[in-house]
């Protein structure tokens, strides 16, 4: 083989190919090298990149959780596998070899999450967590549902038990809602109508009524400690789409973008094996589904032809107001879009409508 590699003779190349196959077969039979364990793969990548355990915290979680994984005391979760593969380039096949957490149901979340859950009024003070999950998911296995529906926009540090608890709270609240017969369809055109409500002082609350006419339930409920959530799209047990928002960033621009993003999931992506989609919009969404939802929300809020003419680095507050009028949306939406696209979060910071959304839902409760 060593002699044949440098030859340009076609016959020599054919012989080289045959010898390569025979050599590979001999090596696999006589001198097979076992694949690395996931822990070995992580340690190799750390050595290769000069990484310290603290560098794994964005992908695995807290310092103690990283320590447990590196010592072999904690198996990798699916979210950890996804984050390590996506951000550190560790082959997924190497990471999947480690036993993945496959409990039928997650254990109870942290005390802080349980306290918050009970304060929301969806879980009884004497009720066990397993009974709560069974009741809120109507007997369906919540862990299996969440494993199927995670996307690249789920924070790797998410406490899966708290996430299941939050989704259960959303479903319980949605179960109590009775919708009238649908009079509109959720589509790009009606999404523009929804976006125009942002110009009204009570627009976020009015959005709930308009979505109801489209056959969609809007639930606004605080996130639980350890969930890192902006919103989610779910299906109620009877198939009714549910859009859920946490308002963890109480700003006008964030409310409307998250709302339209989750509406896109409800319109385009829910169904079949995907009854739940959860989003931390601070995590970059690079898969096709998230990119499509981002585009749907952006176009619904600001028509592309309007943004193309207005998008420039030297935008002024007066320009923002003029563009908002042209797009028929709240100025905060223009300011927030500009901040994201230019990564400048100082300019227009006073135009984002901070603290203006949560109080509207509190007043309408």
Position 101 scores a pLDDT of 45
Mean pLDDT over each residue of the chain, to the nearest integer:
88
- Mean pLDDT, range 298-309, rounded to an integer: 95
Give per-residue pLDDT as tens, 78-116.
Answer: 888 888 998 999 988 888 864 444 445 568 889 999 999
Q: How far is CA 148 from its chain centroid?
A: 13
Question: Which of 95-99, 244-248, 269-273, 283-287 is the least confident region?
Answer: 95-99
Q: What are all long-range contacts of 334-338, with beta carbons under 8 Å and residues at least 24 apart?
A: 334/302, 334/310, 335/253, 336/251, 336/253, 336/254, 336/257, 337/253, 337/298, 337/301, 337/302, 337/307, 338/311
- Mean pLDDT, range 210-234, rounded to an integer: 95
Higher pLDDT, 309 or 195: 195
Helix (H, G, I), strand (E, B) or coil at 244: strand
Cα gap 72→140, rounded to integer Å: 31
- Mean pLDDT, range 111-126, rounded to an integer: 92
Cα gap 262→235, rounded to integer Å: 12
Q: Which residue shows structure tokens 């996307």?
A: 151
324-353 as b/e: b if 16+ CB within 10 A: bebbbbbbbbbbbbbbeeeeeeebbeebbb
Listed residue (121, 97, 109) closest to 42, CA to CA: 97
Q: What share of the chain is helix, strand, coil (3-state, %, to 5)?
A: 55, 5, 40
- Mean pLDDT, range 180-209, rounded to an integer: 95
**H or E stretch covering 60:** helix 57-60
Dihedral angle over CA of 281, 309, 292, 220, nearest 10:
40
pTM: 0.71
């Amino acid at each position: 083989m060593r002699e044949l590699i440098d030859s340009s003779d076609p016959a020599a190349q054919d012989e080289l190919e045959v010898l390569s196959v025979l050599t590979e077969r001999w090596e696999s039979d006589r001198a097979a090298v076992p694949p690395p364990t996931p822990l070995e793969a992580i340690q190799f990548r750390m050595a290769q990149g000069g990484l310290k355990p603290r560098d794994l915290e964005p992908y695995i979680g807290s310092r103690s959780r990283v320590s447990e994984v590196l010592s072999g005391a904690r198996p990798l979760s699916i979210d950890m596998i996804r984050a390590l593969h996506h951000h550190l380039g560790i082959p997924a096949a190497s990471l999947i070899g480690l036993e993945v957490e496959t409990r039928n149901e997650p254990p109870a979340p942290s005390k802080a999450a349980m306290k918050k859950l009970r304060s929301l009024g969806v879980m009884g003070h004497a009720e066990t967590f397993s009974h709560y999950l069974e009741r809120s998911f109507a007997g369906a296995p919540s862990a299996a549902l969440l494993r199927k529906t995670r996307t690249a926009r789920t924070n790797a540090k998410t406490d899966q038990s708290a996430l299941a608890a939050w989704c259960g709270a959303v479903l319980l609240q949605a179960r109590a809602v009775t919708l009238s017969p649908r009079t509109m369809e959720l589509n790009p055109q009606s999404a523009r109508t929804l976006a125009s409500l942002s110009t009204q002082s009570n627009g976020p609350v009015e959005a709930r009524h308009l979505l109801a006419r489209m056959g969609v339930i809007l639930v606004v409920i605080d996130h639980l400690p350890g969930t890192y959530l902006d919103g989610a799209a779910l299906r109620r047990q009877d198939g009714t789409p549910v859009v859920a928002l946490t308002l963890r960033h109480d700003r006008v621009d964030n409310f409307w973008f998250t709302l339209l993003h989750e509406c896109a999931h409800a319109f385009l992506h829910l169904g079949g094996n995907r009854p739940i989609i959860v989003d931390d919009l601070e995590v970059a969404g690079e898969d096709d589904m998230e990119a499509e939802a981002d585009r749907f929300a952006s176009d619904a809020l600001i028509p592309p032809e309007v943004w193309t003419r207005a998008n420039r680095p030297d935008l002024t507050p007066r320009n923002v107001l003029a563009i908002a009028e042209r797009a028929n949306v709240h100025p905060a939406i223009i300011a927030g879009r500009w901040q994201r696209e230019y990564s400048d979060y100082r300019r227009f910071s006073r135009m984002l409508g901070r603290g203006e959304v949560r109080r509207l839902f509190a007043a309408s409760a």
